[in-house]
Amino acid sequence: MFHPVSSKGRGRTALKYANNLPLTVLLLTQNLHAASAGRVLAHGRLLREWVFHVLVAGWGEGELTPRLRDFPVLQFHGELRSQWPLDAVVVYGEQDESTWQALLTLRERFGTRILTFPQDSSESPAVAARACPRGLEYVANFDHLQRALKTGCGAALWSPALQQTDVIPQRSKPGRRDVVLFWKQNDLGLYGRRPDMVIRYLATRPDVGRIVVFDRPYSEQGLEKKQSDGWFNQNRYVYVGAMQRALSNCVEHREDCAVYARTFVYRPEREGSEEYVQFVRESLAELDVNIAASLFIHYPLLQWGEELMAAFQPRAWLADIVDDRRTWPHVNARQYEKYTHAYQVALAHSQFAMTNCEPVQAAMASYHDSIALLPNGCDEQPPLRVSTLNRQLIRELQQWTGPVFIYVGNLESKLDDALLEKIATTYTNALLVLVGSAHTNRDILDLECYANVRFSGVLPYAEANAVLQYAHVGLVPHRQTALTEHMNPLKVSVYLTNRLPVVASQVSNIAEHPCILRASDHETFLQQLDVALSLYQQRDEPRLQTAFLSFQQDNAWQTRLAPYFDALLTDESAVEH
C-alpha cells in the first residue's frame, strides 16, 4: 500500500509517495472545443497545486494552440493507448467504446484508477454512482475528486513483462517493407528537419508499407519540467509531442502509407534500457511488424542505442549521421571519448550509412567503410499555415514598408549575436525577425532592446514558411566553429525554396547559387545585404526564376533519396547479413 506524503518541490507542493514515485493524473474529455471543457481546464489548474504531473487531453477538430497560459493541452488524433502507466484517469463526459476499453486495460494492467464525473449534472449522486460502469469510480464534484486522489493512488508501474493488448493493426500490403526509424531528439514534425523529410519521402514509395517512428526516450520527471510556457523555447512543444505519442495511437495516413509515432516515457527509479527495448519490441509486435524484413534507420547518437542495436536484427540498419556530437560546445575529454565509442558501435552495427556533409563523412570514415554523401534537399511543396502562433507577426510584416531580414532556426550559441546587433543598428528601417527557440542561448534575447528586432518564438514548419512569404532576405549569420564546420544548414534550402536571396557567413557546406551571397566578415555581410535586397527586387526576372526553380528541382528530397533507397529496399544483393 502506498501512502501519500506531502513534499515541497519546484515552487509548489507536490503529492508524492513514501517510495518517491510521482503522482500522474490524466484529465480526459471527449471534445476539447466544447463549452464543458472549461470545467476540465479549471480542475487541471487546481490540481497542479499539489499533484506532481497533471495532463489535460481529449479530441476535437480545429486549431488548439499549445501555448495555453497555465499548462499545455494534448489534442489526440487517434485512439487512447494503454502502454504508459498512469496513477489515475479522470473521465469527463461520454467516451466511445475503444476509449472505455483502453481505460479498463490501463486499470487491469497497471492498477490505474479510473474516476468519472456524471454525464448528466441533473442526476442525483446516488443514481449516478449506481450507473457508473463496473471498474470505474464515480466522483460527484471536485472535493470528492481531491479526496479520491489522496487515497489509494500510486500503484501504476511498468510490469517487467508487458502484456499484449488486443490491437488490430493496419498490416503492410504484400510486397511492401516496413521501416522503423529512431530519431535522437524530441522535435519530430516541428521544424521540418531531415528525418521529417526522409519520413515524408518514404511514405510516397509504393514499396514501403508502414513507418514506425520512435523519438528519444524521456523521463517523466524531465518532461514535467518542460510544461512551462516559455514563448522563446521549444519545451512546451517537446512536452506536448512526447505526451501525445505516449498516450494516444498517433497514426498519420500519408499517400498509401501509415506512419505511427511512439515515445517511451519512463520512471528512472524503476526503468532503463531493458524496459525501453521491451517497449520497442512490444510496439512493433502490436503492429505486427516483420522485423527481419524491415529497414531500421537510426540517427546517432541515440539514448540506449547500443542496447537497441544489439536487441534487433532487421533486414538492415541504416545510420543517417546529421552532425558530430563531439563538435558541440563544452564537450570535455571524457565526453569526447564516450561519444567516439558510441559512434564506433553505432556504425559497426550498421550495414549502411549516409550523412549530409563532407566533414562529417571524413570524421566517421574510420568507423564505416562506405558512408554515402546525401546533402540536405529541398521541399518541393512546403506547407503554409497561418494560425494564432504567427498571425500577429504576419499582420505586422504586411504593413511594414521597409526591408525584412529573417533567420529561421534554433537561436543557439552558433549565432553571431554581435553581427545581428550590427544589422539591427545599421538597417534601422528594416525589421530583423528571429524565428526559433532560445532554450540553449537566453543571451540572444538581449537583442529585444532594439525597436526593429522581433522574436517570434518557436514556429512549427508550416507557420515558419508562412512568415517567410513576407521576408526579403534569409540570413545564415553563423560563427565559424567546429560545430558549424560539421553541419549542412537546411535553412539555406528552405530560404531558396521560398524564393529568398540568402546572405551567409563563410561557413562550410553551403551550396553555390546566384542568390547565395557569402561574407567573410561583418562589414562584408552588411554590404551583401544591399546586394541581396537588389536580387529580391529582380527575383521575378526569367534569369532568377530559372535559378530558383532549377535549384529546387535538382536538390529535391525525392531526387536526393530515391536512388539510395531504391538499393536499400529492393536490391537483395545490396544487403549483407
Task: Please provide the DSSP assignment of 295-356 as one string.
Answer: EEEE-SSPTTHHHHHHH---SEEEEEE---GGGSTT--HHHHHHHHHHHHHHHHT-SEEEES
**Dihedral angle over CA of 221, 156, 212, 297, nearest 10:** 50
Helical ranges in 29-96 per DSSP H: 37-47
Q: Are 81 and 282 in contact (CB under 8 A)?
A: no
| CB distance 39 to 56 below 8 Å | no
Q: How far apart are alpha carbons 73 and 58 in whole angstroms?
A: 8
The string over 492-501, giving b where at least 16 C-beta atoms fall within 10 Å of a residue's C-beta and e elsewhere, is bbbbbbbbbb
- Please write the tens of the pLDDT for every residue from 505-532: 999 889 899 999 999 999 999 999 999 9
Check residue 399 and give its pLDDT: 97
- Please, where are the H alpha helices in 402-541? 417-426, 461-468, 482-485, 490-497, 522-537
pTM of this prediction?
0.82
Report the distance separating Cα 167 and Cα 28, nearest Å.
Answer: 21
What pLDDT, on the 0 to 100 scale, is given for residue 294? Answer: 96
Task: Compute the distance between CA of residue 451 and CA of residue 139 in angstroms, rounded to an integer.
Answer: 53
Q: Where are the beta strands (DSSP E) in 60-187?
A: 73-75, 88-92, 113-116, 137-138, 177-182
Residue 508 DSSP one-character state: S
Distance CA 527, CA 345 (A): 47
**Sequence-separated (6 or more) residues with CB below 8 Å from residue 382:** 192, 461, 462, 465, 494, 497, 498
pLDDT for 109: 80
Tell which wins on pLDDT, 156 or 219.
219
Q: For residue range 155-187, what is the model confidence (pLDDT) as tens digits?
A: 333 222 222 333 344 566 677 999 999 999 999
Position 487 pLDDT exceeds 70? yes
Task: Return mean pLDDT, the chain.
Answer: 85
Q: Is 50 helix (H, G, I), strand (E, B) or coil?
A: coil
Lowest mean pLDDT among 121-125, 253-257, 488-492: 121-125
Helix, strand, or coil here: 523?
helix
Report the C-alpha gap between 161 and 142 in whole angstroms: 36
Confidence band, pLDDT 50/70/90 cuts, at residue 464: very high
Q: 268 pLDDT exceeds 80? A: yes
Range with lowest mean pLDDT among 30-39, 130-139, 400-409, 458-467: 130-139
- In angstroms, the CA 242 to CA 238 distance is 6
Cell of 505: 557567413
Cα(53)–Cα(41) distance, rounded to whole angstroms? 14
pLDDT confidence tier of residue 129, bands split at 50, 70 and 90: very low
Residue with cell 446516488: 126
Place 78 in a pLDDT band, splitting at 50, 70 and 90. Answer: confident
Q: Look at 38 and 296; give whichever has higher pLDDT.
A: 296
Rounded Cα distance between 364 and 347, Å, is 9
